Amino acid sequence: MKILYQIGEYVIIMFQALKRPDKGFVFRRQLLYDFKRLGVDSISIISIISLFTGAIIAIQMAYNIDSPFIAKSIIGFSTRQMLVLEISPTIICLILAGKVGSRIASEIGTMRITEQIDALRVMGVNPPNYLILPKIVAAMIYFPVLIVFSIFLGILGGWIMGSITGLIPSADYILGIRSWFDPFTLTYAMIKTVVFAFIITSVSAYKGYTVKGGSVEVGQASTEAIVVSSILIIFSDLILTQLLLT
Amino acid sequence: MIEVKNISKSFGDQLIVDNVSTTFEEGKTNLIIGQSGSGKTVLMKCCIGLYDVDSGEVDFHGRQFSNLSDKKRKNIRKEMGVLFQGGALFDSLTVEENIMFPLNMFTNMKPKEKLERVNFVLENVNLSGTNSKFPAELSGGMVKRVAIARALSLMPKYLFADEPNSGLDPKTAERIDELLSSLTKKFNMTTVINTHDMNSVLQIGEKICFINQGKLCWEGTKETILKTKNKELNDFVFATELTRRIKH
């Protein structure tokens, strides 16, 4: 019963959130603020993880494809495919679920327990619309940019590592990453990213918005936001992959 | 004038506000007093529309408020300023942005006019020059005063304050009381303050409503409260050594 109640509550809050903002300039200001906090502030962690992940994938590919009958360019190709299809959109979004999701849940949860949300309501503001909508829009616009950046850095990481270790000749790697490119794979990655962005922001905002109690409950809401978002990301990844790639 | 008519509010099986009727008078500092857990805050939240009442209604100058939708309440909310217990300032906004917030949401004032209004209300709470500070950089008393400034920014007809001097030292608390009382007179507002602080009661209570276990038990003024025969009120008022000394 509790899960049905929560789904109903989530839907009601999203209906309130996804309305047209009362004041356009207030919304735009919030949007810019959330671009910075949810997007720009995530660039450093995304860069580090993507660079190293790309490097590790390239080394593992080189280790596994150790046959004179398989062209070395396959390492570059496989690295690119893994990054575009799964590592960047899904794994990076799981990391963003931890970083951005916990931030949203704890921020909105703290606003709830310190009566800031009540203050918004008293001022005639629709709190979900004011607090949640800019975060959803910011993430749905900015996360695809982050994922493209992540793919680029991952491929770069593989190239750097392959060149430094001598496992993959630079020319072969570059040939590999340019071979058999299907633009739809990038579209597929972007569709997944936009869906994941909505899941991360809406679920985390819902968890924060419905906090009751004190700081302990805000912490719990933050953890629940990450757990639920992560499960929903993996679940929707399966469904989207089945729908889009088969 | 605010008329509260037969308001009841319960959470689950627990009746928190039990058939309360009273009026809060214009141009006066009206106090709701009572022990912690007596239902003061719930009563105030029913008045400002944060809780929907189970029965009864609240009228603002004859305009029904409590049974309206949020959209229809907006016109009355423009005339309302609320000071929450912890201030409820928006942490991510500066003092200036906090005070400008209701102006952005409710008015089409030009940026220059908004800034003038911000400076005017900051001057009224003796906090000129703090525009660019964030709430985290302010002391408890300053947070309360900024919250008062924000509540005043729309020049409200009705001002609600939930325990405005809780957690403050006696001197700062007295200053906040004086400020609220003087602003009430200056802007001819109907001010409603929740408190359990007897200093506030004796200093600014022009009309006092005593709530006990969700019921309105007594109404009077700061002049009559010390002479009351009401047992529950006496237990509340003379709970401290200081008030017992005043009585004798």
Q: Which residue has the higher pLDDT, B231 or A222?
A: A222
User: Domain for residue B3, yes or no?
Assistant: yes
Q: Six-digit token pair at B78?
A: 């423009």
User: Domain for residue A54, yes or no?
Assistant: yes
With a CB cutoff of 8 Å and minimum separation 6, the contacts of B173 are: B165, B197, B199, B200
> In whole angstroms, what separates CA B160 from the centre of its chain?
3
A102 by DSSP, 3-state: which? helix
What pLDDT does B115 receive?
A: 93
Q: Positive or negative, the Cα torsion across B212, B218, B221, B223?
A: negative
What pLDDT does A194 receive?
A: 97
| The three-state (H, E, C) secondary structure of A125-162, written as one string | CCHHHHHCHHHHHHHHHHHHHHHHHHHHHHHHHHHHHH
What pLDDT does A190 receive?
A: 96
Q: Which residue has the higher pLDDT, B228 or A224?
A: A224
C-beta atoms of B88 and A124 within 8 A: no
Q: Six-digit token pair at A125?
A: 């503001």
- Interface list for B 103-162 with A (CB within 8 A): 104-106
Q: Which domain holds residue A172?
A: 26-245
Which DSSP category does A84 fall into? I
Using a CB–CB cutoff of 8 Å, tell me whether A28 touches chain B. no
Q: Are B193 and B200 in contact (CB under 8 A)?
A: yes
Which long-range contacts link B35-39 to residues 24+ away (Cβ below 8 Å)?
A: B35/B196, B35/B212, B35/B236, B36/B196, B38/B211, B38/B212, B38/B213, B38/B214, B39/B211, B39/B213, B39/B214
Question: Is residue A60 pLDDT above 70, yes or no?
Answer: yes
Bridge partners of B30, per DSSP, are: B192, B207
Q: Six-digit token pair at A103?
A: 């931030």
Using a CB–CB cutoff of 8 Å, tell me whether A231 touches chain B. no
Cα(A5)–Cα(A1) distance, integer angstroms = 6
What pLDDT does A47 receive?
A: 96
CA distance B78 to chain A (A): 7
Nearest CB partner across the interface for A122, out of B80, B89, B90: B80
- Total domain count, chain B: 1
- Interface list for A 84-113 with B (CB within 8 A): 110-111
Span A2-25, average pLDDT: 92
User: Domain for residue A13, yes or no?
Assistant: no
Using a CB–CB cutoff of 8 Å, tell me whether B50 touches chain A. yes
Q: Which domain holds residue B242?
A: 1-79+158-167+189-248
Using a CB–CB cutoff of 8 Å, tell me whether A125 touches chain B. yes
User: Domain for residue A217, yes or no?
Assistant: yes
With a CB cutoff of 8 Å and minimum separation 6, the contacts of B31 are: B192, B193, B194, B195, B200, B201, B204, B205, B207, B208, B209
With a CB cutoff of 8 Å and minimum separation 6, the contacts of B116 are: none
Q: Are A109 and A222 in contact (CB under 8 A)?
A: yes
CA distance A122 to chain B (A): 7
What's at B91, amino acid-wise? Answer: D
pLDDT band for position A207 (cuts 50, 70, 90):
very high
Cα(A189)–Cα(A131) distance, integer angstroms = 28
Strands B55-60 and B2-11: antiparallel
- Total domain count, chain A: 1
C-beta atoms of B102 and A26 within 8 A: no
User: Domain for residue B105, yes or no?
Assistant: no
Please count the other Cβ atoms lying within 10 Å of the Cβ belonging to residue A58: 31
Using a CB–CB cutoff of 8 Å, tell me whether B80 touches chain A. yes
What pLDDT does B247 receive?
A: 66
C-beta atoms of B106 and A124 within 8 A: yes
Helices A133-165 and A24-34 cross at an angle (nearest 10°) of 30
Cα(A224)–Cα(B71) distance, integer angstroms = 33
User: Domain for residue A33, yes or no?
Assistant: yes
Provide DSSP, A165-214: HSSS-HHHHHHHHHTT--HHHHHHHHHHHHHHHHHHHHHHHHHHHT--SS
Question: Is residue A2 pLDDT above 90, yes or no?
Answer: no
Q: Are B226 and B237 in contact (CB under 8 A)?
A: yes
Provide DSSP, A202-240: HHHHHHHHT--SSHHHHHHHHHHHHHHHHHHHHHHHHHH
Which of A79-83, A148-152, A157-161, B239-243 shows the lowest per-residue confidence on average (mean pLDDT)?
A: B239-243
With a CB cutoff of 8 Å and minimum separation 6, the contacts of B67 are: B53, B57
Nearest CB partner across the interface for A125, out of B91, B92, B105: B105
Burial class (CB within 10 angstroms; exposed 0-12, middle 13-18, buried 19+) of A184: exposed
Name the H helices within A65-132. 73-82, 93-113, 116-122, 127-131
User: Domain for residue B136, yes or no?
Assistant: no
pLDDT band for position A79 (cuts 50, 70, 90):
very high
Which DSSP category does B79 fall into? T
What pLDDT does B201 receive?
A: 82
**CATH code, B60:** 3.40.50.300
Q: Are B121 and B152 in contact (CB under 8 A)?
A: yes
User: Domain for residue A1, yes or no?
Assistant: no
Phi, psi of B33 (to 5 degrees): -120, 160
pLDDT in tens, chain B (248 residues): 899 999 999 998 899 998 999 999 888 899 999 888 888 999 999 999 888 899 999 998 888 888 777 777 888 888 888 999 888 999 989 999 999 999 988 888 899 999 999 998 898 888 888 999 999 999 888 898 899 889 888 888 999 999 888 777 888 788 888 888 888 888 888 999 998 888 888 888 889 999 988 899 888 888 888 777 888 888 887 777 777 776 66
Q: Positive or negative, the Cα torsion across B230, B199, B187, B76?
A: negative
